[in-house]
Structure formats: C-alpha cells, structure tokens
Chains A and B, each alone.
Chain A
Amino acid sequence: MSISPVMPLSEINDDLITEVLAMLTVKSLMQLKCVCKSWYSLFSEPFFIKMHLKRSSRNPYLTLYSRYTLFNLFPMRHLLKTHRVTLDNHDPNCQLLMDKNSHRIIGSCNGLICLISSQVNFFFYLWNPATRSLSQTLGSFTDPVSPPNFKFSFGYDNLTHRFKVVAFRPNEVRVFSFGDNVWRNIQCFPTDPYFYSSICHKNCVYLSNSLVWVALRPNDFVDSSCYHWKDLILNVDQYVIVSLDLGTETNTQWLLPRGLDEVSPVMPIVSVLMDCLCFSYYTKGNDFVIWQMRQFGIEESWTKFLNFNHQNVHRVYSCAWHSQFYPLHVFENGDTLILARNQEQVIRYNKRHNRVYETRITNNIYWYLANQFVESLVSPC
C-alpha cells in the first residue's frame, strides 16, 4: 500500500463540511444559506436534502397544537429531561396555522404536512413548517355525497418520488399524486379502515412506503351504522390491518398477533415505534399492550414489545376509566416510551423500572392531536 505524502491539515474538504451541515436544524440552515453561494445551492440539492432528512429523523419533533399558539414544533428529546415545559408564544417555532377554521391536517411525512380544506370543494396544500413554505392549492375535487364521507391519508412514494393523498370511502379508493396532480381510482379495500378518531392523522401510519390502518371486518350481528367502537366489535377475529403500498398502489390485509385473544375495551391503534409497525390495545385486566411487527409485512414477526398495567398509571392520576394512550415515540435505548393520554397530558413510561412520569406542558396542549414529525428541507412546491 502506498503512503500518501504529509498533508497540511488546514484545508477541510467539502464532503466533511457537508457531513457537519447535514446535522444542523432547518432553522440554522436557513440562516447559513447566506454564508456563500455554494452552500446556498447545496441546501437545495436533492442528495443533501435526503442526507439531512436521514440525520434529522434521529432527532424527531412533536407537532403540538394549543389553544393559544395553535402550532408548535417541539423537540421530542425535551420530554426526556424536563418535567415542566412552557411553550413560549414568542418562540419563532410557534406559528399560526393558516385560517384555522377551514384547514385540517391529513398527515405528515418527510417533513411535509398535508392540509385539507373542505368548505365547498376539497383541496389540498403541502406545508413545510420548518422552512415555512406552503404549496399552492392542489387536487381540488367535489364529493357529491352530503355530508362528505371521504376519509384521507397521506404519504410519500419512494418509487415515483411523489407525495400522495389517498381518499377513500366504502367501495371507492382514489389516489392523488402531487407533481402529476391527477386523481386516479385504484383497487378498493376489502375491509374499510376504521377511523376511530375524527383526526385523520391519528388513524393511519406511514412506513416502508405504505400507509397502514386498523380495519374491522363487519360482523353480521352488529348494526354497521353504529358509531361506537364497542358496539361494532364482538370478537378479535374482526380486527385486521390494512396496508396500502404507495408504489404499487395495491393493498394487503394482515392478521394480528396470535397472542391477542380478547376484545379491547377501547379501539386498538397502530403507531410506528423504532421504525416498526406497532399495534396497541387494552386487555380487560387493564394491561396496556403494544405488539411490534419486527419485519414489515411478516405476520410471524409480531413480538410483544410492552405490557404495563393501567393501574400503575391510575394510581398516579385520577383519570377516567380506559383512557386512550397514543404511543408517540421510543427513545434510542428502547426503555423510555412517550405516550399521549387522552386529551390532557403526555407521559413518559420507563420500561426497565416500570414507572410512569408525568411531563407538564402548559398552554393547554391538545395532546390527542400531537404527532411525530421530522423536520426537513423538502420543498412543498
């Protein structure tokens, strides 16, 4: 092997600087655009945006909505250290969601949030809250049914490099692809995803290029027009997971973990923890259980990830019976789980010590709206 000559160590090469820059927050990068022309163009290079997104996903945020600030990007890691957090209305991260009455969030993916406006027609926006940029309105269509009964989910297709909105109702599924800006009808779902919450983005998760929902097979003995979860389900065989591959635009149904043998008193939900699909529910004995699908799409890979007794939490808080837990994040060591509980609060559960810690965040956060978010430089336009 040849030995390279002694080099002076003062000149730092561009690739190394790029490594460093890819670790910065979007806000810092927006400032550092002014450093020089090559940095300015670097920050809009697809390879850099991708590299930054990959680093950024290790440092997730929560999107929080509060009565006063309306929208806030909150670093997840702050929940590890602090017990009491006050959101500062003057913080530049606090942003008003435009015209709050007519916009709803469908979901977020790769740093973009998809908003829907549904006054007369439906139409959509893509919004990057980190770079504060907003697309034009796109994908306008009218639902002739009144009241409108379409449900929406949002994700990114790595195959065509397009963000997509999926709109569905019984016997109809259509996909809108941003960039091509056309709606197309695709194969119907064998079982329609169940929306247990009126908040679109709580019902669906995106991972492995797919959108995933919990669905309920209809039961002959129940009236399908009823709205309450507990009236719709009689046995666990009715649960099914529906997944839509955004690349092939085909759907698949998966069975639930074999160990699941009783109907949960509250609607089970899907979430993404440590890059795996998770399914969580309650047992009648008040255990809150999370199963993890270790290998995406492989039914045999369901593994019990966590099981804690609701009574432990119950003792800490005087809470309503069967509050809903929304798993939000697991920290890298796998021991600390962040859960939103009902509307009121966020809790930190330590798996190793089987203990629950409360984090107080003031400003009346609507915790049931809180969602994972990864900031990025991805342009919504």
Chain B
Amino acid sequence: MAAEKSSIKIITLIAADGSVFEVEPNIVKEMKTVQSYIDELDQNTVSIPLPNVFGNDLAMIIEYCKKHASEEETKEAKEEFDFEFVKRMKSDDKLRLLQAASYLNMESFLQFMAKAIAAEIENQSVEFVRDYFQIESDFTPEEEAELRKENEWAFK
C-alpha cells in the first residue's frame, strides 16, 4: 500500500469552473480534503474534483503551497512572499480564500487568511466591518448608542 502511494507522481485538481491543475503530491500535503481522496484511491494518477473552489483561487493556493513546501526558500523569502501575497488581494479574494482553506481543510493557510482579514478590519469602524461581512445590525439605534457610550474609550 505504501509503495503504491509513493508511486503517485502527479495529482490533477479540477476546480469548480473546470480548470485543471497538475501538481506534485508534496504540494497538496496540507490540503487534508485532497489528501483523504488520495488515501482512498490506489491508482497511479489521481484526479480530484474540487467543486467548491474556483480556478483563480486554486491557482493562488497552489502558488502559496509551492512556495511554502520549497526547501530552498529561506524563511525570510517566505515571509516576504506572504506579505506580497496578501497585499495584492482585495477583500473579496481574502474571504473566498478563507472559505476555500476551510473546504480544503488547510489549517495553517486558514489561520494565515484569518490573520490577513483580521489585519484589514482591525481598528476599522463598526460600519466598515458590517459592510465587510454583509451584516445587518439587529440593535435598535437606542441600544447601539448605549453600547457605544459604555465603551466610549474604545472608539477613540
């Protein structure tokens, strides 16, 4: 069984929009959802449909995994990559990638995206955050005013 698994050379991932990605097994190690597919199959070539992840997002996740799986890259280079990776993303991208990380069951990538989103909403106004997550307030204006008054210092 172990010998068969190690013989898998290429994993094919098929995104929601049908785009196809061919990656080496070490790239998908962190994707536990994908890993459980691989563990169930004993073929040499594995093709895995990922109907909850779009091609664009999957491309970015693979790029991230490749960088972090690389043994040649220094810690500093990886940190620099992480910084640029987040910097070029819009809010929507971050939220979609967070969901993709959750679907693919990628613990550290999920934490990384959660941290990136947290950095974006840290110190932002209540209105900004409601808008960000598309949340409607269910407080009455009076209740909200009261709450703001209670924690007035936090708004300074």
Chain A residues proximal to chain B, CB less than 8 Å: 1, 3-7, 9, 12-13, 15-17, 19-25, 27-28, 30-37, 40, 92, 132, 333
Verify A23–B115 contact, CB threshold 8 A: yes
Known pairs A17-B133, A27-B123, A27-B154. 13 more at Cβ < 8 A? A9-B96, A13-B99, A13-B102, A20-B114, A28-B123, A28-B154, A31-B151, A33-B147, A34-B144, A35-B129, A92-B154, A92-B156, A333-B75
The residue of chain A having its C-beta at the shortest distance from the C-beta of B16 within the complex is: A6
Could you tell me the distance between the alpha carbons of A33 and B154 in the complex, rounded to whole angstroms? 11
A-B contact pairs, 17 of them (CB 8 A): A6-B52, A7-B51, A12-B95, A13-B99, A16-B99, A20-B98, A22-B114, A28-B121, A28-B154, A30-B154, A31-B125, A31-B126, A32-B126, A32-B129, A35-B129, A92-B154, A333-B75
Q: Contacts of B121 on A, CB cut-off 8 Å?
A: 20, 24, 28
Q: Contacts of B138 on A, CB cut-off 8 Å?
A: 36-37
B36 on the A face (CB < 8 A)? yes
Verify B37–A1 contact, CB threshold 8 A: yes
Q: How far is the CB of B127 from chain A (nearest CB, A)?
A: 9
Q: How far is the CB of B14 from chain A (nearest CB, A)?
A: 10
Verify A7–B148 contact, CB threshold 8 A: no
Verify A4–B52 contact, CB threshold 8 A: yes
B117 on the A face (CB < 8 A)? yes
Q: Contacts of B102 on A, CB cut-off 8 Å?
A: 13, 15-16
Q: Contacts of B155 on A, CB cut-off 8 Å?
A: 31
B122 on the A face (CB < 8 A)? yes
Verify B115–A12 contact, CB threshold 8 A: no
Verify B51–A3 contact, CB threshold 8 A: yes
Q: How far is the CB of B83 from chain A (nearest CB, A)?
A: 14
Verify A35–B37 contact, CB threshold 8 A: no
Verify B153–A92 contact, CB threshold 8 A: yes
The one of A16, A19, A35 that contacts B135, using a Cβ cutoff of 8 Å: A35
Q: Contacts of A31 on B, CB cut-off 8 Å?
A: 125-126, 151, 154-155
Q: Is the interface of A mostly helix, strand, loop or mixed?
A: loop
B40 on the A face (CB < 8 A)? yes
Verify B151–A33 contact, CB threshold 8 A: yes
Q: Contacts of A6 on B, CB cut-off 8 Å?
A: 16, 51-52
Against A, the Cβ 8 Å flags (1 = close, 0 = not) of B86-99 are 00000000011011
Q: How far is the CB of A112 from chain B (nearest CB, A)?
A: 18
Verify B137–A19 contact, CB threshold 8 A: no
Against A, the Cβ 8 Å flags (1 = close, 0 = not) of B124-147 are 111001100101111100001001
Could you tell me the distance between the alpha carbons of A32 and B95 in the complex, rounded to whole angstroms? 19
Could you tell me the distance between the alpha carbons of A30 and B154 in the complex, rounded to whole angstroms? 6
B46 on the A face (CB < 8 A)? no
The residue of chain B having its C-beta at the shortest distance from the C-beta of A33 within the complex is: B147
Could you tell me the distance between the alpha carbons of A35 and B135 in the complex, rounded to whole angstroms? 8
B49 on the A face (CB < 8 A)? yes
Q: Contacts of B51 on A, CB cut-off 8 Å?
A: 3-7
Q: Assuming A9-B54, A12-B98, A34-B139, is B122 touching A28 (CB within 8 A)?
A: yes
Could you tell me the distance between the alpha carbons of A16 and B94 in the complex, rounded to whole angstroms? 12
Q: Contacts of B135 on A, CB cut-off 8 Å?
A: 35-36
Verify B99–A37 contact, CB threshold 8 A: no
